[in-house]
Amino acid sequence: MKAQSSIEFMTMIGLFMVIFLTFFAVLGDRMVAFNTKRQADLADDMLYYVESEILMAAQAHDGFYRQFTLPSKLGGEAYNLTLNVSAGMAELTIHYLELEYGRPILINLTNSSYLEPLGSMNWVERRGVLVCVNNCTI
């Protein structure tokens, strides 16, 4: 009888360990997915903010000028933000946590620009039908 209860006890311990390990494996996977989604949302929010500054200049009158500051870090991590213009197409790109997120901008921009994320001032300006970001060489 003692042997049977020992075997039952060890079986229950083994079963509880399997349940415990499965629970924490699923929990860990969900936390990784949540953090990845949060990081993508932060990058998308930054792209949206800069895009809205550019679109506001595109809709404003000639001579519009506005300065804006970007945070030095995004979610506690460094990032790079670039605006690439080629053949009439513009794309705003953020490099964040070894990933790259992009967003097309469908307005008439002058040239490519590097946006300063280190808390320094960036600016957007409208000259005629063109919109300039940080670099207005027409």
pLDDT, average across residues 21-44: 93
* Calpha distance 102→131 (Å, rounded): 19
Question: 137 CB contacts (<8 Å, ≥6 apart)?
Answer: 110, 111
CA atoms within 13 A on the CB side of 66: 18
pLDDT reported for residue 118: 45
* Calpha distance 53→51 (Å, rounded): 5
pLDDT in tens, 74-101: 888 888 888 887 776 788 889 888 888 8
pLDDT, average across residues 36-52: 91
Whole-structure pTM value? 0.74
* Calpha distance 58→5 (Å, rounded): 79
Is the CA virtual torsion 54, 57, 58, 62 positive or negative? negative
Q: What is the mean pLDDT of the chain?
A: 84
* Calpha distance 28→51 (Å, rounded): 35
